[in-house]
A and B are shown apart, each in its own frame.
Chain A
Amino acid sequence: MIVSWAPVIGVDVIGSFLTLIAACVCAYLSWDWKKKGPDDIFRDYIFLLTLAFVFFAVSRSFGHLVKQYLIFIDLYGVWQRIAPFSGAVNSASFIVIFAFGIYFQRFEKVHLELSEYKDNLEKLVGERTRELEQENREREKAQHELRESNATLENIFNSALPMCITSNDFDLIEANEAYTNIWPVSPKGEKPMKCFDSRPGSLCHTTACPMTLVLEGMEEVTCETFRPGRDTNGKTYLQTTRPFRDADGNIVGTVTSFQDITERKRAIEELAAERERLAVTLRSIGDGVITTNTEGRIVMMNKVAEQLCGWSQQEAVDRPLHEIFRIVNEKTGRPCPNPVDLVMKTGSIVALENHTLLIARDGARISIADSGAPIRDTASSIKGVVLVFRDVTEKQRIEQELIKTQKLESVGILAGGIAHDFNNILAAILGNIDLAIHRLGENERVAPLLVEAEKASLRAKGLTQQLLTFAKGGSPVRRTVSIEGIIRDSALFILRGSGISCETDFQEDLWLVDIDPGQMSQVIQNIILNAREAMPDGGNVRISCRNSPEPAGEPTSDRDFVRITIADNGPGLDRAVMDKLFDPYFTTKNKGTGLGLSICHSIITQHGGTLTASSPPGSGAVFTILLPASRSSEIAHDQEISLPDFAGTPARILVMDDEEMVSKVAREMLQQLGHEVVLVKDGQEAIDCYRQALDQGKRFDLVIMDLTIPGGMGGKEAVGHIRTLDKEARVLVASGYSNDPVMSSYRDYGFCGSVIKPFMLRELAVSVQNALVNT
């Protein structure tokens, strides 16, 4: 079979071209690949192997193209001459490629070793890199944490109290914002300001400087720093200075913080002021105040409590209450329950039982009124007990005095009524007896009997006078006199022949007094009589009389007093007797009426004075009278009264009295004196009778009217009507109430005179005569 040679030539030419191109592209690619890994020896190998193949391909392709070209142009001979060179180059390229082929092992080994080394190196580098990266991360983390820590510290530093750090040279090396808002500091970057320039103070440059003390070894120094304010009053800071150490613990300065204590200090001052105010208030309270804790131990007591208990607060504090505040029942003498225990038990206010006595430190017994209350805090828990007590001795005395006075008043009203009625009876008895004596004459056998009856009636009259004096609430018939004479006369009169000496001590310029001399004489006589009866075996009575500008027991009085003291050296008065001494009908004597001292008390009270009795231990009784001094300095003298002429000009007299026996005896007496008498029973009848007499032209020369008419118009009211009818009318007032103000001040009520029932003929004659004579 014959095949064309043309395919051989075509494939050879085209293949050579393609091979040439592919070889060139391979050369480029291998070079480019090698360039990307210059340190890779295996790439060098592939590059060199590729170059060998390229050299082989180029030389062969170029030779084949030249061959085909020369054959094509019929120069086959030329090709035959150059073919050996082409073939030699081609063979040489085989050897080169062979060499590269067998040296692949070496390259591979080197490559593997290098790769291994590289891998190891890369591994080491990687590990080291990772270590470094880890270190970096840790370092960055540490730096981050350090920055965070610094930021946190800076935040804390700036958000904390004013704070600064000072070097050993007193340079302000650090200060937070709070500090710089208060005190100046140097701008950053400039020379630090000295601490004593930033906040100058009294301790700067002294041995007491806190920073100096810390640098000398003290661990902490606190003091107060005052920062004057621009617009305000400034602020006070509590400065705390501590050492500032470096990492080795060496002191490199001080760190100082400042706490604003202005408000706290102000609150403390206000609290102290409030406590002082409370203490002053407490100590100024007029009552005793003791506070205790819940265990009953004393916490505080005020001045009054100190005085009453006899313990000072310093001595009493923390002692049990029962040691300081010893209270017993006044009657039983048994200790009273501890008020603190009662308050703690009940939780409410507790009052002491009545008749409680406080036994002071010196043994003095003081009547007290007391109450205890719990001291509660804001949560209503009991924190202690407060006791408030007061001395009620004086109050009890006043209360007893009041009771006594009320008792006297009650008895007095009764006595007054009895005396009035009895006076009317006595008026009839005494008047009739007196008339009988006058009409019978002294030689009659019955005359002595009538005289005795008259004496008995007069004694009865005296008794009723005493009753009225005791009972009356009106004014005595006062005169401005010196008390000295009355006292001397009364004392001499009573003590005469008693074997009792009397010592008197009267101030020379003794003030005058406005008194009823008779009543006052009665008082002095009663008191001295008691002294005499208390000393049957003799003794001594001392009477002193002094001016007393500031009377004891009369704090509200603005008057001067005369003090009369009557003391004896008898057995004295015990407490039971003292309590009832001025009670009516109270007596320690077998024959006494029990009215003497009560009447004295009543008389002195009516004179605006006081009568008190005391009996100091070991001595007798002492009576003290305080009488208001007179505002006048002139003594009033008694008016001389001439004896009436029983046979005088007969007069026409109207007698008004509701008691028929009184009016009858009065008519008999007046008729005995020669007068014409008309009797009426009450004021209205007297007025009508007087008007009728005036109308008939038979005017009465005198009207005698009873002061009071039960159930009708009395003389006090009727006199006004009569004097309305006749301005020249003469009206006498007659009454058993000798102590009635009308009787002592009759002119003020329109009367021209007064006569006290029961009256005797002489007394009535004098009164009628005076009324008829005096205009």
Chain B
Amino acid sequence: MQAEGRRKQALSGTLCAFFLFVALLLPQAAWAVQQHGGAEGLVSHQIGHLLFIFGMFFLLYRLHISVQSGPGWREFKLFVWLIICWNFLTFYGHWHREFIDPAKLLTMNGKTTGFMISGPMDLLFYFSRLDHLLLVPAFLFLLMALTRWRKTA
């Protein structure tokens, strides 16, 4: 039991070091898509998304190898999966926003009124603006999971 635990800890540490290494290898791109400006940069936010995704994957992995099962855990896993999807979607949305042609954003009186989709990436970008379609169901699954746990407590 203790040997298996140490092996899993080593694997987790290796994954964390890998993602940090990848992030450090792309400093230019990170700076290039920075939108938050000032003290808050896009890179740090995207790193947040990546950590978020990493954390959720790790959580799914632990849930997968752990003995957790029964009522609520399936809904919780769907919640995690949807959160991961949401993270990927918004990660792409943040990243693509930095490279999108401003002309594709149709404005009127300084307000965006339309978007010109010229390819799949634009379509995916447009969809990333509808991220609540993933986030709301994700929270509904969390709510269901908690409801199940609460009932079985």
Where the two chains meet, the residues of A that have a C-beta atom closer than 8 Å to any C-beta of B are 1-8, 11-12, 14-16, 18-19, 22-23, 25-26, 29-30, 32-33, 36-37, 43, 46, 50, 53, 57, 71, 74, 76, 83-85, 87-88, 90-92, 94-95, 97-102, 104-105, 108-109, 112
Q: In this complex, which of A33, A88, A90 has the most chain B Cβ atoms within 10 angstroms of its Cβ?
A: A33
Can you add 19 more A-B contacts, CB < 8 Å, to A22-B142, A36-B153, A101-B56?
Answer: A3-B115, A6-B113, A8-B126, A11-B133, A22-B139, A25-B143, A33-B150, A33-B153, A43-B149, A46-B146, A50-B142, A53-B139, A84-B38, A84-B40, A87-B36, A88-B39, A102-B55, A108-B62, A112-B67
> Which residues of chain B from 110 to 153 have a CB within 8 Å of any chain A CB?
110-118, 126, 129-133, 135-136, 139-140, 142-143, 146-147, 149-150, 153
Q: A18-B136, A94-B48 are in contact. Are A8 and B143 (CB under 8 A)?
A: no
Q: Which residues of B contact A100 (CB under 8 A)?
A: 55
Q: A2-B115, A2-B116, A84-B38 are in contact. Are A11 and B51 (CB under 8 A)?
A: no
Q: How far is the CB of B44 from chain A (nearest CB, A)?
A: 6
Q: A87-B45, A94-B48 are in contact. Are A4 and B114 (CB under 8 A)?
A: yes
Interface residue? B74 (CB, 8 A): no
B106 touches A5 (CB 8 A): yes
B150 touches A29 (CB 8 A): yes
> Which residues of chain B from 77 to 101 have a CB within 8 Å of any chain A CB?
83
Q: A76-B110, A105-B62 are in contact. Are A98 and B51 (CB under 8 A)?
A: yes
For chain B, give the interface size range: 35 or more
Report, nearest first, the 3 A-B pairs whose CB atoms are least far apart: A15-B132, A101-B55, A94-B48
Interface residue? B5 (CB, 8 A): yes
Interface residue? B59 (CB, 8 A): yes
B40 touches A11 (CB 8 A): no
A98 touches B55 (CB 8 A): yes
Q: How far is the CB of A80 from chain B (nearest CB, A)?
A: 9
In the assembled complex, the Cα of A91 lies from the Cα of B142 at a distance in Å of 21
Interface residue? B31 (CB, 8 A): no
B132 touches A19 (CB 8 A): yes
In the assembled complex, the Cα of A18 lies from the Cα of B143 at a distance in Å of 12
Q: Which residues of B contact A90 (CB under 8 A)?
A: 45, 48
In the assembled complex, the Cα of A317 lies from the Cα of B143 at a distance in Å of 117
In the assembled complex, the Cα of A586 lies from the Cα of B125 at a distance in Å of 186
Interface residue? B66 (CB, 8 A): yes
Q: How far is the CB of B45 from chain A (nearest CB, A)?
A: 5
In the assembled complex, the Cα of A7 lies from the Cα of B51 at a distance in Å of 29
In the assembled complex, the Cα of A88 lies from the Cα of B132 at a distance in Å of 20
In the assembled complex, the Cα of A87 lies from the Cα of B51 at a distance in Å of 15
Q: Which residues of B contact A2 (CB under 8 A)?
A: 106, 114-117
Where the two chains meet, the residues of B that have a C-beta atom closer than 8 Å to any C-beta of A are 5, 8-9, 12, 16, 36-40, 44-45, 48-49, 51-52, 54-56, 58-59, 62-63, 66-68, 83, 105-106, 109-118, 126, 129-133, 135-136, 139-140, 142-143, 146-147, 149-150, 153
CB closest chain-A residue, reference B126? A3
Q: Which residues of B contact A102 (CB under 8 A)?
A: 12, 16, 54-55, 58-59
Q: Which residues of B contact A3 (CB under 8 A)?
A: 114-115, 117, 126
Q: How far is the CB of A608 from chain B (nearest CB, A)?
A: 142
Q: A15-B135, A74-B110, A109-B5 are in contact. Are A104 and B143 (CB under 8 A)?
A: no
B55 touches A97 (CB 8 A): yes
In the assembled complex, the Cα of A74 lies from the Cα of B63 at a distance in Å of 47
CB closest chain-A residue, reference B146? A29
A108 touches B66 (CB 8 A): yes
A26 touches B106 (CB 8 A): no
Q: How far is the CB of B13 from chain A (nearest CB, A)?
A: 10
Q: How far is the CB of B102 from chain A (nearest CB, A)?
A: 14
Q: A94-B49, A94-B51, A108-B66 are in contact. Are A84 and B130 (CB under 8 A)?
A: no
Q: How far is the CB of A55 from chain B (nearest CB, A)?
A: 13
A15 touches B37 (CB 8 A): no
Q: Which residues of A contact B149 (CB under 8 A)?
A: 33, 43, 46
In the assembled complex, the Cα of A224 lies from the Cα of B153 at a distance in Å of 79
A91 touches B139 (CB 8 A): no
Q: A57-B135, A91-B44 are in contact. Are A104 and B114 (CB under 8 A)?
A: no
B129 touches A12 (CB 8 A): yes
Q: Which residues of B contact A8 (CB under 8 A)?
A: 112, 115, 126, 129-130
B150 touches A36 (CB 8 A): yes
Q: How far is the CB of B65 from chain A (nearest CB, A)?
A: 10
A94 touches B132 (CB 8 A): no
B51 touches A95 (CB 8 A): yes
In the assembled complex, the Cα of A102 lies from the Cα of B9 at a distance in Å of 10
Q: How far is the CB of B4 from chain A (nearest CB, A)?
A: 11
B111 touches A71 (CB 8 A): yes
Q: Which residues of A contact B63 (CB under 8 A)?
A: 104
Q: Which residues of A contact B146 (CB under 8 A)?
A: 26, 29-30, 33, 46, 50
